Amino acid sequence: MDNLTIKEAQKRVDDWIKEYGVRYFSELTNMAILTEEVGEVARIISRKYGEQSFKEKDKEIDLADEMADVLWVLMCLANQTGVDLNEALIKNLDKKTNRDANRHKENTKLSTD
C-alpha cells in the first residue's frame, strides 16, 4: 500500500467497506465519527505540544494512527457524497494560491525577523 494517490486511497477505502464493512455508516454517523477522531488528534497535540500532560493510559497513543483515522473517515464521507478528494484538493490549492499569493508574505505577524 506504499505511495497511494488520493484517488487510489479513496478506492481502497471503498473496496474495504464493500468487502469487510458491509456498508457505509450514514453520512451523519460518519460526520460524528470524524469529529470524534479529530478530537483524538487534538488530545494528543494538546498534550505533546501544549501545556497539558499525558494521562498514564494515553502515553502510548500513536498520532500518525489517529491522523490516519481522520483521513479514513474523511474518505468514507467523500465516497458517500461523490467527492473526488484528489480533484477537490487540486482546486483548493489553486484557490488558496490565487487568493493568498502575497497575503502571508506580507503579514508582519508571520515575519521571521
Q: How far, CA to CA in Å, does 102 sit from each of 46, 98, 105?
A: 31, 9, 5
Q: Which of 33-37, 42-46, 93-97 is most confident?
A: 33-37
Residue type, 72: W
Alpha-helical regions (H) of the chain: 6-16, 27-48, 63-81, 85-100
Residue 44 has pLDDT above 90, yes or no: yes
Q: What is the pLDDT of residues 63-85, one digit of tens each?
A: 999 999 999 999 999 999 999 99
Placement of cell 457505509 in the chain:
24
pTM: 0.86
Contact 109, 54 (CB under 8 A): no
Please choose, from the candidates 34, 31, 12, the residue with its C-alpha nearest in 3D space to the C-alpha of residue 21.
Answer: 12
